[in-house]
A = this chain, B = another copy of it.
Amino acid sequence: MRLENDLLLRAARGEKTERPPVWVMRQAGRILAEYRATRAQAGSFIGLVKNPQLAAEVTVQPVDILGVDAAIIFSDILVIPEAMGLPYQMDEGKGPFFPKTIQNLKDVENLDLSNINNHLTYVSEAIEATLHKLQGRVPLIGFAGAPWTIFCYMIEGKGSKEFSLARKMLVQQPMLAESLLTKITDATIAYLQSQIKAGIHLFQLFDSWAGVLNAELYQTMIIPHVSRILSSAPPHIPTTFFAKGAHYAAKSIQTLNCNVIGLDWTMDPAWAKNQFPNKTLQGNLDPAVLYGTDETIRTSTEKLLSEFGEHPYIANLGHGVYPDIDPKKLKIFIETIQKS
């Protein structure tokens, strides 16, 4: 099906577009009353992730309500460990929790890669249901967590400020770490293929905890896995890599075979254009700007546009939208981009 609005894909490929496309991380989420209603119907966050019809419904909500230029499939990065045999719980306000974590080589060997996509049929079905609802209005983004971020959760079992246990594993047991990262990478490549088969238009890899590593470890132990995943995408599927906090790893990130680099809000646009001259850039607006007045939101958005200038750019926040943001404020950001 031909897309009515393919701004995202053209910008991702570095083409000059009439204006930047705009979408927002966590646009399908708690900020929308409609999302909260659908989630209540599903019973829980994980229940919603596993229900293809309801997941498709919340995926399409921001397209209908906010008018964004892309949908992103409603799912969770932690479906990968679960599909490998490490289930998790999601407690409201507390984040994810894994009752069982990876402690030793035997635990890694026990992870089962043979059935990844059977376990994840609900994601493919949600993608198909979403495409049906979208009817080609905007592209659909698929995604996964990057190997390091998934590794962090599988080792620590929950969020952490500095993930020192996961880093200890990298340093003290590099062979074990490498073996776990390889399994996560293999599973993610299979998952990416199934998302492409189901019909996604662009694939984004999120390295949410990249910021806790150092330049040498990131380059030697993490980048090769990220590279393998991104290089496994066929040429017709553009790819985006977003490593939050990884300002220190720009040089190795620039070597990746991907189209788009996501920027958090601490990264300076001028610096980013210089570091990633041949990549499309995405994101960067401080999510806290949306707590401001209509006027300051407009001014900050216009400043953002002028800073990226002629560089291929996909407008977005520097991280997910905060759950207590008024959707009207988000709409001001989106409309300012769309009127530009």
Contacts and interface: CB of A to CB of B under 8 A. Distances in A.
Interface of A: 159, 161-162, 164, 167-168, 170-172, 211, 214-215, 217, 245, 247-248, 265-268, 286-289, 291-292, 296, 319, 322, 324
A248 B286 CA distance: 13
Given A164-B322, A172-B292, 14 more contacts: A161-B161, A162-B319, A162-B322, A167-B291, A168-B322, A172-B291, A211-B245, A214-B288, A215-B266, A215-B268, A217-B286, A245-B245, A245-B266, A247-B247
A289 B248 contact: no
A214 B284 CA distance: 10
A288 B170 contact: yes
A312 to B, nearest CB: 23
9 contacts: A168-B288, A168-B322, A172-B291, A214-B265, A214-B266, A214-B286, A214-B288, A245-B266, A248-B266
A267 B248 contact: yes
A170 to B, nearest CB: 7
A170 B287 CA distance: 13
Contacts of A288: 164, 167-168, 170-171, 214
A164 B248 contact: no
A164 B323 CA distance: 10
Contacts of A296: 171
B267 A164 contact: no
Contacts of A324: 164, 168
Contacts of A292: 171-172
A304 to B, nearest CB: 11
Which residue, A266, A287, A319, has most C-beta atoms of chain B within 10 A?
A: A266
A167 to B, nearest CB: 4
Contacts of A215: 266, 268
Contacts of A167: 286, 288, 291
A289 B159 contact: no
Given A161-B159, A266-B215, A291 B247 contact: no
A319 B162 CA distance: 10
A170 B289 CA distance: 10
A289 B161 contact: no
Nearest to A211: B266
Contacts of A289: 171
9 closest A-B pairs by beta carbon, nearest first, are: A167-B288, A248-B266, A171-B291, A168-B291, A214-B286, A164-B322, A171-B292, A172-B291, A214-B265
